[in-house]
Amino acid sequence: MSDITACPLDCYDSCSIVYKEGKIKANKTGLTNGFLCPHLNHYTKHKTITTPKYKGKNISMEEALLKLKEILSSSYASEILHYRGHGNFALMQEVTDHFFASFGSYLTDGNLCDGAGEAGIVEGRGSNKNMTPQEIAKSEVVIFWGRNPHTTSSHLLPIIKDKTVIVIDPVKTKIAKSADLHIQIKPHTDLYLAMLLTRFLYINDTCDEEYLEKYASEFEDYYELTQSIRIKITLEEMDVTLGQIGKIIEMVENKKVAIVCGVGIQKYEDGADVMRAIDAFGVALGLFAKEGSGISYLGSSRANITSPFNKKSKKVSKVNTPFDDFKTVFIQGANPLSQMPNSLRVKETISRVENIVYFGLHENETSEVATLIIPAKDFLSKDDIRTSYSDNSLHIMSKQHDSKYGISEYDLSKYLCDAFNIEIKSEEEYLSYFKEFSIKQDDGLYKVKNREELPYKDGFDTDDGEFLFLEEFEKIKSENKKFHLITSKSEKSLNSQFTRDKYVYLHSSLGFCENSIISISSENGTIKLPVKHNDDLRKDSIMIYSGTKDINNLTSSKHSLDGKNAVYQELKVAIVKII
Ligand code: SF4
């Protein structure tokens, strides 16, 4: 049995792990580079569910499976929804889709994370191929645009040592404090900064003319569009100076530049346009043509890998799921009662579902309301394979030990397929199928076959190979007096997994005392939280970490205009001190 596996968490870095003498250790090779983040270092300290439960009573796994079969038999297939999250991230997690799709039930589409940005990338480039950390290592200048590597991609940190670092972020993050330049931009004004940067590149004669001629012949029209921006008022709204724009241009001119974007910049209705405008800035600089240059976002972890599972089904959106249209909802690796936007709507619609089945590792708000709880096996006690949305690695996740607790996604699906006469292949066949998409490298790790190291160097994946620029955009709006809500990821939790935060963070000059309770409200709902001061925030913004209890009472279940994504930050909130 191999002692190599990989982190199962939904994270950019997809670390490779060596499991020795009952301990999780970082693999010394590859991007993992000998260290893991606190989530994995403390992974086994977090209590997992060990016993299946039906209506609050402990039952055996055999009874739980029989109960599940009974529940599914008592509903029409079209009255059943399978809602699957990425709490446990790997390719075999999707085998449950195979059962539910073949059974005739509903699956979900839409996205709670990166869908708007991806839509913008695909509109411009024709596909979403990522700049990998291995390429970023060759850059001279790295721009972290809304990405906080200390929290979400710590394995980039050793790579960027000795490089010029620019940070564009409304929060003075740790990386911003040590950066060569930090632009503490007003939230949701990134699109205008990207367009103005492109406009001034052109004015300064710093565009890559040769690249534009070959792969972006509509650039002049886009330049004209950038001219429709009224400079003075837009700079004021963004809280950015012309001097800062000039400084960025000076720092990137004739350099190998990596723009590393986070997902926060696109959690808005026009999130696709934001990403497309940043892409256009990269195109104007000719970044896609050069080694050590490009744009890194969240690449498709499934690129060049086809699924062996049947996933053809009717779908409802993951963003505004109409739970009460269903008699039975099977929830896997997700905590919709905490993590979906507009929690009050989610609570109300879920409360009308007759059977909630929760299949996962940890107790949470969703397991609390479940009729039937089925514990899952953790990644150490099952075989799986994972890929990454940061680089081209593919990790064989070898089972490290047997566990008497829980059931794997494959075993549960096999049980259901057998019970309802649905064809399913053996686990080994699926694992071998996925492994076929990889090749072994010299360091013993695997990578996905046939992915380009320098995507778009010979043109884009659009019909004519050229980049498609934005043709219109929403003009900047003047601000009202409410606060922007920033919903970053915290260092201690991964959304609602692990140690969840419980504060609202705001600038000390706003006049709210530490630990006083304030009420934060939006058009969707209200929450009350104790205050913590954080002068790294702007005075017009408050921050509540993703995973904080009830934070999504505030957020809206609207979709982004493109990409069917949640728009967690598309709102302003009011705050009131509670006396
Ligand atoms: S950095 Fe990401 S992939 Fe690596 S151990 Fe932490 S959560 Fe897992």
Chain segment 526-557, per-residue pLDDT in tens:
999 999 999 999 999 999 999 999 999 999 99
Q: Taking residues 115-128, report their average pLDDT.
A: 97
Q: Which atom of ligand 1 is nearest to the CA of 11?
A: 2
Residue nearest to atom 3 of ligand 1 (CA): 14
Q: For 334-361, what is each residue's pLDDT tens digit?
A: 999 999 999 999 999 999 999 999 999 9
| Percent of residues, the chain, with pLDDT higher than 70 | 99
Ligand 1 centre and the CA of 251: distance in Å?
Answer: 31
How far apart are the CA of 441 and the centre of ligand 1, in A? 21
Cα-based angle 211, 217, 219 (whole degrees, multiple of 5): 90
Helix (H, G, I), strand (E, B) or coil at 358: strand
Beta-strand pair 294-296/16-20: unpaired
Each residue of 381-409: pLDDT tens digit? 999 999 999 999 999 999 999 999 999 99
Task: Please state, as a whole number, how many other Cβ atoms lie within 10 Å of the Cβ of residue 452.
Answer: 12
pLDDT digits (tens, 9 = 90+) for 442-458: 989 999 999 998 999 89
Which residue is listed with tokens 């219109």? 472
Question: Beta strands of 117-180 (E only): which ranges?
Answer: 141-145, 164-168
Per-residue pLDDT averaged across 202-222, rounded? 97
Ligand 1 atom closest to 12 (CA): 2
User: Which ligand 1 atom minimizes the distance to the CA of 40?
Assistant: 5
pLDDT band, very low/low/confident/very high, at 576 (cuts 50, 70, 90): confident
Q: How far is the CA of 16 from the centre of ligand 1 (A)?
A: 9
- State CA 172 to chain mean position distance: 21
Mean pLDDT score, 241-265: 98
Q: Whose CA is nearest to atom 5 of ligand 1?
A: 36
Contact assessment for residue 153 and residue 411, using Cβ atoms and an 8 Å cutoff: no
Q: What is the DSSP letter of 560?
A: P
How many angstroms does the Cα of residue 15 sit away from the middle of ligand 1? 5
* Confidence bin at 289 (pLDDT 50/70/90): confident
To test the ligand 1 pocket, which listed residue (10, 36, 154) has its Cβ within 8 A of the most ligand atoms?
36
Mean pLDDT of 508-516: 95
Ligand 1 geometric centre to CA of 131 (Å): 19
Share of the chain above pLDDT 90, in %: 93
pLDDT at 546: 94
Q: Is residue 84 over pLDDT 90?
A: yes
83 to each of 67, 80, 90, 321, 329, how far by Cα in Å?
19, 10, 16, 9, 7
- pLDDT given at position 550: 95
Q: What confidence score (pLDDT) does residue 44 get?
A: 87
pLDDT of amino acid 495: 87
Task: Tell me the CB-side half-sphere exposure of residue 338, using CA atoms within 13 A.
Answer: 23
Largest CA distance in the chain: 72
Mutate to test the pocket of ligand 1, among 10, 33, 40, 46 (most ligand atoms within 8 A of CB): 40
Give me ligand 1 centre to Cα 73, in Å: 39
pLDDT of 579 above 70: no
Q: Ligand 1, closest atom to CA 26?
A: 5
Residues with CB under 6 Å of ligand 1 are 7, 9, 11, 13-15, 36-37, 39-40, 154
Question: What gap in Å lies between CA 69 and CA 546, rounded to an integer?
Answer: 35
pLDDT higher than 90, residue 571: no
Compute the distance from residue 328 Cα to the ligand 1 centre, in Å. Answer: 34
Give the pLDDT band of residue 510 (cuts 50, 70, 90).
very high
> What are the strands of the beta sheet with 446-448, ordered from one edge?
384-387, 393-397, 446-448, 438-440
Query: pLDDT at residue 131 above 90?
Result: yes
Q: Which atom, in ligand 1's list, is nearest to the CA of 38? A: 6
Evaluate if residue 88 carries a pLDDT over 90: no
Q: How remote is the CA of residue 444 from the centroid of ligand 1, in Å?
A: 20
Give me ligand 1 centre to Cα 520, in Å: 32
Residue 155 pLDDT > 90, yes or no? yes
What's the average model confidence in pLDDT over 129-136? Answer: 96
Q: Which of 170, 166, 235 is nearest to 539 (CA)?
A: 170
User: How many A from CA of 296 to the centre of ligand 1?
Assistant: 18
Strand spans (E) along 177-305: 181-183, 257-261, 294-296
- When pLDDT is averaged across residues 178-186 and rounded to a whole number, the result is 98
Is the pLDDT assigned to residue 243 strictly greater than 70?
yes
* Closest atom, ligand 1, to C-alpha of 7: 8
Ligand 1, atom 8, residue with closest C-alpha: 7
DSSP for 369-394?
Answer: T-SEEEEBPPGGGS-EEEE-SSSSEE
Ligand 1 pocket mutation pick from 5, 12, 13 by most atoms within 8 angstroms of CB: 13
Exposed, middle or buried by CB within 10 Å (0-12, 13-18, 19+), for 475?
exposed
Q: What is the pLDDT of residue 218?
A: 97
- Give pLDDT tens digits for 477-503: 876 669 999 999 998 888 888 889 999
Identify the residue whose tokens are 């006469």. Answer: 421
N- to C-terminal Cα separation, the chain: 61
- What is the average pLDDT across 179-195? 98
What is the structure's pLDDT at 203?
97
- Please check whether residue 334 is in contact with residue 84, taking contact to mean a CB–CB distance below 8 angstroms: yes
Distance of CA 36 from the midpoint of ligand 1 (Å): 6
